[in-house]
Amino acid sequence: MKVLKFGGSSLKDGASMTSVGEIIASDSEEKVIVVSAIHGITDSLLDFMSKVRREEEVQQFIRTLRDRHLRLLTEVAGSMDVKQTAVSQLSAQLVRLERILYGIIYLEELTPRTRDLVQSFGERMSVIVMSAMLQEMGVNAVPVEADELGIITDGTFGSATVDMENTRSNIAPKIYEMFKRQETPVVTGFFGKTTEGYITLLGRNGTDYSASVIANAIDADSLEIWKDVDGFMSADPKVVREAVPIGQLSYEEAAELSYFGAKVLHPRTVEPARAKGITIRVKNVFKPNYEGTAINPKGVEGNRTIKSISSMPNMAMIKVYGAGLGSKSGVMSEMSTMLSDAGIVVYSAATSQTCVSMLIEERDLKRAEKVMGEAKKGVVDRVESVRDVALLCLVGEGLGQKEGIAGKVFSIVASNGVNVSLISAGASTVALTFTVKRKDLEKTTKTIHQEFFGG
Ligand code: ASP
Ligand code: MG
């Protein structure tokens, strides 16, 4: 029993969808398929919502969506009855979406709740096309919507966390029932619902996370995340031409890399699989025989201290000054709570007696300045920001224990004339993170890669 996830980049056109279909059809094991929206659809839903004003625009937009899905459907499903069922299922979704979009116009209001609901339609449509293709290939595929199935979330619109207990008791029996009927569920990724029934997204690229949640819930033997890349690499191949693929990672290494900028997996994907000891395999749709990256408890590969370098280029530092700030108990946690309440993630932090520095994404800087400005109340004297910061993250199991690694890294970096600041080595035993000026990111990544991987 396994779970297979396919992302939008593999659901682009008839040819890529057929590659996906062949992977699924060639494997007779019981499985759940989890899919993202067709390539580009989530973005177009987002974009359209933010600027729609007139009813005619809605009609035009719905027509575009219909055409795109019907064209794909025609490419992958030839037989009349399969196609007809899919067309009427698609129409039902489009009617619902159209009404919601009119609602936005009439109310002149776009709430986080509506924003999440609208975006869920990308996946609601893709599972229909996908199932039709699989039926055509002889797989007894059935489209399933995550809210119907019962993926329950905590209600944070835009980036919700799944309530695993509730979700498991909802979905496991339904999926086992489907297996008994020899059906292959094709489930929408990306969203769940609150206990009240409101649709909540799991964050951009959240389908990886959905798939891991389902794998956990049904006690799958493995989880396969199919992408259009070879898996995790030793560095971003766009920056370091010599980057090599990584065959094995531990859960912790994969989680750190994903959190700190490697775009391979949604950052939350590891957790549900790890809780059940399920191996995650990241594989390439266009090279199905290539082994990709396996993520499991062992994750050992060779004796490299550093396995991979990831980075986040668009960071900023917010520095909060106040006399005796560092020794006032609770100040630090109060500040990070205020920021997280505003939806701002603090990636790293450092304190001194008079200053707390926090690393955030640059796009959050304006809001962070505002929030910290409000925190003044006698504790904070002034707030300063540093833009154009980049974060580097070096990952390797045992990196935390090996003496002198941090020293070695920083001396290499320094010998290139690059200044390092905000270092965090203790937070995880498998990751070493530090920041440099954005303009130095590429050079630093290349130098470190050269030193530890050669080539
Ligand atoms: N379709 C959603 C997105 O584009 C979710 C996903 O791709 O996993 O973010
Ligand atoms: Mg996507």
Distance CA 256, CA 267 (A): 8
pLDDT band at 397 (very low <50, low <70, confident <90, very high): confident
Long-range contacts of 81-86 (CB under 8 A, 24+ apart): 82/132, 82/135, 82/136, 83/132, 85/132, 86/128, 86/129, 86/131, 86/132
Ligand 1 centre distance from Cα of residue 119 (Å): 9
Tokens of residue 394, six digits: 């070096």
With the most atoms of ligand 1 within 8 angstroms of its CB, the residue from 35, 42, 121, 124 to mutate is 42
Q: What is the CB-side half-sphere exposure of residue 38 using CA atoms within 13 A?
A: 25
- Note the pTM of the prediction, 2 decimals: 0.92
Nearest residue CA, atom 7 of ligand 1? 205
pLDDT reported for residue 99: 97
Looking at per-residue pLDDT, the higher value among 354 and 164 belongs to 164
* Rounded Cα–Cα distance for residues 87 and 129 (Å): 9
The pLDDT of 292-311, averaged and rounded, is: 83
Q: Of 200, 222, 201, which Cα lies nearest the Cα of 211?
A: 222
Question: Ligand 1 centroid to 212 CA: how many Å?
Answer: 15
More confident residue, 432 or 402: 432
Residues 409-451: tens digit of each pLDDT: 888 888 888 888 877 766 677 889 999 999 999 999 999 999 8
Lining ligand 1 with CB less than 6 A are 7-8, 36-37, 42, 122, 189-190, 204-207
Return the residue whose CA atom lies nearest to atom 8 of ligand 1: 205
**Which of 34-38, 185-189, 222-226, 413-417 shows the lowest per-residue confidence on average (mean pLDDT)?**
413-417
How far is the centre of ligand 2, averaged over its atoms, from the C-alpha of 123 (Å)?
Answer: 10
Give residue 328's pLDDT band: very low, low, confident or very high (50, 70, 90).
confident
Residue 326 in this model has a pLDDT that exceeds 80: no
Q: What is the pLDDT of residue 233?
A: 95
Ligand with smallest separation from the Cα of 210 = 1
Q: What would the mean pLDDT of 110-127 be, rounded to a whole number?
A: 97
Predicted local confidence at residue 425, as pLDDT: 66
Kindly state the average pLDDT of the residues 299-308: 75
Mean pLDDT of 389-413: 83
Question: What pLDDT sits at residue 416?
Answer: 84
Write the DSSP assignment of 137-199 as a string of letters: TT--EEEE-HHHHT-BB---TTS--B-HHHHHHHHHHHHHHHHHTT-EEEEE-SEEE-TT--E
Q: Over 90: is that where the pLDDT of 312 sits?
A: yes
Percent of the chain predicted with pLDDT > 90: 75
CA of 50 to the centre of ligand 2 (A): 19
Mean pLDDT for the chain overall: 92
Residue 297 in this model has a pLDDT that exceeds 90? no
Task: Say how many C-beta atoms besides its own lie within 10 A of residue 244's C-beta.
Answer: 17
**Listed range (118-122, 173-177, 225-229, 305-309) with the worst mean pLDDT:** 305-309
Q: What is the pLDDT of residue 427?
A: 67
- By the 10 Å C-beta count (0-12 exposed, 13-18 middle, 19+ buried), 219 is classed as exposed
Helix and strand counts by DSSP (H, E) for the chain? 15, 16
Domains, in order of start, for the chain: 2-228 (3.40.1160.10), 308-453 (3.30.2130.10)
Structural tokens at position 194: 């609150």
pLDDT over 70 (residue 32): yes
Distance (angstroms) between ligand 2 centre and the Cα of 190 equals 9
Residue 396 pLDDT exceeds 80: yes
Q: What is the number of the ligand closest to the CA of 9?
A: 2
